[in-house]
Structure 1
Amino acid sequence: MSRSRACWRRSTRRFRRRAPPRRRGWGGGSSHIPSKIRDIATTDNLPGVGERFLSAIISTVASSLNLEEVLDSVVRLLSDASAVHACFVYLLDRDGERLDLYAASEPYAHLVGQIVLTRGQGLAWWALEQGEPAFIRENALEDPRFHYVPELEEERFQSFVSVPLLGRRGDPIGVISLHTEAPREFTEAEADFLSSSASLVAGAIENARLYEQMGQRVRE
């Protein structure tokens, strides 16, 4: 198992604590997945396709406490649902100083555990430190927030979205990043879908970590 996949405990060192946003969309996560599922399942603002994929994500995060399995499924579902060319999940390491690539859509899955973004590098860090989503509609290489990762062939992509994963108390957990080869303006419905997905993923991560901590206590 790679070092990044083995790091379960998060750190909020040097981060300003943020309460989860009160407004709808782009919200923080919840550690109580059943409640979050009920909240999201009753939403009526997503189109049919978004609802179908969101239901699949809900089923995925609610069916397993194996974080690796959940995140691998999530990147596939988000790639298909959002019609993006690449999807990545980065998790904050326990020292709070780097984002480790923890899950990736094909053809980048083999790079899991090998890509590291140190503090301040790229749109992902900007989104996490600001506690809000970040967009680059086009010409990503010219954006000052952009950090080039050659292994991810980022010269191919023009549009980037990074969505922070925040715990129920606003604690930083990680980031979901999506890339497209052509310029892309995400619609409100798509933003709602990604917001709901990020909340579910954050809750799944918190649950998986809690489960792991409980298991460690039992073994001790």
Structure 2
Amino acid sequence: MAVILIVDEDRLFALTLVHVLNSHGHQPVLADSEREAMEALERGEADLVLLSAEMAGRKNLNLLKAIRKARPELPVVLSVARTVPKDTRDQLRGGLYDYINKPFGHVELLMTVERGLERKRLLQENRELLGDLEQRVRELSTFNLVAKTLNSTLNLKEVLDIVMNKIKDLIMAEAWSILMLDESTNELVFEVALGEKGEQVKEMRLAMGQGVAGWVAQNQQPVIVADAASDQRFFKGVDQRTGFRTQSIIATPLISRGRLLGVVEIMNKMGDAPFDDKDLELLQILADHAAIAIENARLYEKAQRLAITDDLTGLYNSRHCDLFMKEALKKARSAGLPLSIIFIDLDHMKEVDDSYGHLLGGQTLREVAERIAALVRPPDMASRYGGDEYVMVLPGKGPEAALKLAEEIRVRIAAEPFLTAEKLSCRLTASIGIACYPQHGGTTDELLSKADKAMYRVKETGKNRVELAG
């Protein structure tokens, strides 16, 4: 049923139109003045206007111009009496869709109305199609940009930030988050979170299967939750901690090569429309791009770690230690700060290899590294320098702090036996030398040499001791 606004001062003629239109399923609305006509339009009461030429032509076409300004998409059909001059008719037709000459029959009226309504429907469909096309072009452009941008970096944090910001641009909501799977604990960790409470949820954890995100991860399926409060999967703990009120959720897993990486989750879509299948499609396409980029970034980071990590112990290797030492010394020299080197050599390690073999000897070196790593915290750096030698670099620390840490390491190594998991009891001690900048040298070679010599003095004078370079 269409609403037809009849604007005509001829009451009898207007009522005749009302009767005809009513009998054919339309809803006519009468207006016999410019004010009434504009009020009806402001209320949205019109799918088509039947406008009297006499009224339209007054005051330099004011009414016709006002209709066009208020509702430019609205079909206007002019009913023209033969008394209207031809020049005026021609002028009026510039603002019209159609016109009909009075007097006219019922069939002519209805055909004219139907043509106008059909044109309105077609225009609306065209606008919607054009809008959909423009939106699709924007989406494809965004996906293309995302792919190019993601391919330009192998930094995991940058990848996550790019993905999050693109999702935010495409799907307007109150909160967005990426949760990554911690494979060591099988938990989801909030790595990136945008929105009013974003900072409060960062690094929070969800168990596998906990909450909507946990369900998505466990089942590796996307989901739309229209009403979070009534959904049994919803976990209230995050809202209770942050004060956020989750109303609706859309989430999809991040999967690469069949392996779960994490979950992308969006809360509370902006506007009146709920999350729908189109939003889910957009999110899944972005998630597919993101998963590949995240996997590549992780592989790159793993390769970087392997390049600077000692395979046996998991500490940094000697190559990284040398580079770190040079950079730390450069910063210390520039800032006028101290720097210390601790050089450790295990006592009697040859006897361990001879007694238990190189396999258990390697296990012993790993256990020593674990005890050292438990005591060394950033910005300090611990490395396996070669064989049974370990080197620590302590930026910003002088002799007193270095002696304290070295003694703690010596005590920790000697305190408990090694290889107890193999039902053996292997005890070790360590000889430790220390050299400090600027007291004992101005280059890394000088500092390492002084620390090494201090360590050998300990070896030659009974072992299991710490000595500062002379």
Q: TM above 0.5, one fold?
A: yes
Unpaired stretches in structure 1, ≥5 consecutive residues: 1-43
DSSP-derived class of the 2:195 partner: coil
Shift of residue 119 of structure 1?
2.3
Identity rate, percent: 28
Shift of residue 90 of structure 1?
0.2
Match of 2:300 in 1: 211
Q: 2:217 matched to 1:123?
A: no
Cα distance change of structure 1 residues 104 and 113 upon mapping to structure 2, 3 Å threshold = closer
Q: 2:181 matched to 1:92?
A: yes
1:150-181 CA deviation, whole Å, 9 max, x = no partner?
A: 245442x321011001111x111100001115
Shift of residue 183 of structure 1?
6.1
Q: 2:287 matched to 1:174?
A: no
TM-score, structure 2 length as denominator? 0.35
Q: Which has the larger radius of gyration?
A: 2
8 Å CA contact 1:61–1:204 kept in 2: the answer is yes
Distance 2:298 2:274 in 1: 34
Shift of residue 203 of structure 1?
0.8
8 Å CA contact 2:174–2:195 kept in 1: the answer is no
Given candidates 188, 196, 200, the residue that maps to 1:107 is 196
8 Å CA contact 1:127–1:133 kept in 2: the answer is yes
DSSP-derived class of the 2:275 partner: coil
Q: 2:281 matched to 1:192?
A: yes
Match of 1:142 in 2: 230
Unpaired stretches in structure 2, ≥5 consecutive residues: 1-132, 310-470
Distance 2:268 2:139 in 1: 18
DSSP-derived class of the 2:180 partner: strand
Match of 1:17 in 2: none
The structure carrying a bigger helix percent of its residues is: 2
Given candidates 153, 163, 184, the residue that maps to 1:74 is 163
8 Å CA contact 1:136–1:159 kept in 2: the answer is yes
Aligned residues: 172
The structure carrying a bigger strand percent of its residues is: 2
Cα distance change of structure 1 residues 70 and 107 upon mapping to structure 2, 3 Å threshold = farther
Comparing both chains, which one has the higher relative contact order based on Cα–Cα distances under 8 Å and sequence gaps of 6 or more?
1
1:84-112 CA deviation, whole Å, 9 max, x = no partner?
A: 22110000002252100001113344236
Cα distance change of structure 1 residues 109 and 185 upon mapping to structure 2, 3 Å threshold = closer
Distance 1:185 1:177 in 2: 12
Shift of residue 191 of structure 1?
2.7
Distance 2:248 2:273 in 1: 5
Shift of residue 55 of structure 1?
2.4
